[in-house]
Amino acid sequence: MTGKRLPQAMRPRGKLGRVFGWLMARLNGGAYRWTVGQLRTQSPRSFLEIGFGTGHLLKLACRSLKLERAAGVDPSELMVETARKRLKRCAKKTAIDIAQGDDTALPAGPFDAIAALHSFQFWADPDAALARVRARLAPGGRFVLVLRTHEGRKAPKWLPNPLSRSGNEIAAACQALQRAGFQVVSMEGIAKGSQGIVAKRL
């Protein structure tokens, strides 16, 4: 996609990007709550989100998990601006570290937990990205991955991730997690169009 105008789904911008961000936040509410629920028993003190969008999950994690540090990267300048406003009050009790970037530019760890909701499909090199995720997880840390299910439809050809275009993204993602040194500990259909995977760093 280098040199081309990226789709709104990859990098929201402008007025349409604000509408897209608002819509995605509403549609993903169940996935945000599910993700925090998967991490609650682990009581993580630090959390990283790859592709945080409007910042709704980060805010929920800060409040529900009582995080000491919340970090994240998102390729959209608009979403970084939006999330910073949303997380302003959280910064009184939690160290907030969010920046513009993608899976190739993750902040230094270690993190007790890392999540990527509906951003896996935008990773051009998923094996390299998962290696970076593992390197930033504390021993025994959890990685929560939420994927889009295409429900029999083919994934768009413009998606950068070859595993997402493979026709069986969920199985391919699980195999990639195992190659990267993770153990899949649970899988669950979250809502229509979303599949959740929880993996543990070995």
Domain extent at residue 84: 29-201
User: Does residue 158 sit within a domain?
Assistant: yes
Give the tens place of pLDDT for each residue, 147-185: 987 655 677 888 899 999 988 899 999 999 999 999 999
For residue 29, name the pLDDT band (cuts at 50, 70, 90): confident
* DSSP-assigned states of every residue in 66-100: T-SEEEEEES-HHHHHHHHHHTTTGGGTSEEEEEE
The pLDDT of residue 27 = 75
For residue 169, which amino acid is it? E
**Domain containing 166 — which CATH number?**
3.40.50.150
Residue 2 lies in a domain: no
Tokens of 56: 């709704």
Note whether residue 11 is domain-resident. Answer: no
With respect to residue 193, please indicate whether it lies within any of the assigned structural domains. yes
Q: Which helix (H) or strand (E) holds 106?
A: none
* Tally of structural domains, the chain: 1
The pLDDT value given to residue 9: 60
Give the E-state strand segments of the chain in sequence order. 46-50, 69-74, 95-100, 111-117, 137-148, 182-191, 194-201
Q: Distance between CA 39 and CA 168 in Å, rounded?
A: 26
Q: Which two tokens stand for residue 50?
A: 């790859």
Whole-prediction pTM value? 0.89
Confidence of residue 1 (pLDDT cuts 50, 70, 90): very low
Radius of gyration for the chain, computed over Cα atoms and rounded to the nearest angstrom: 16
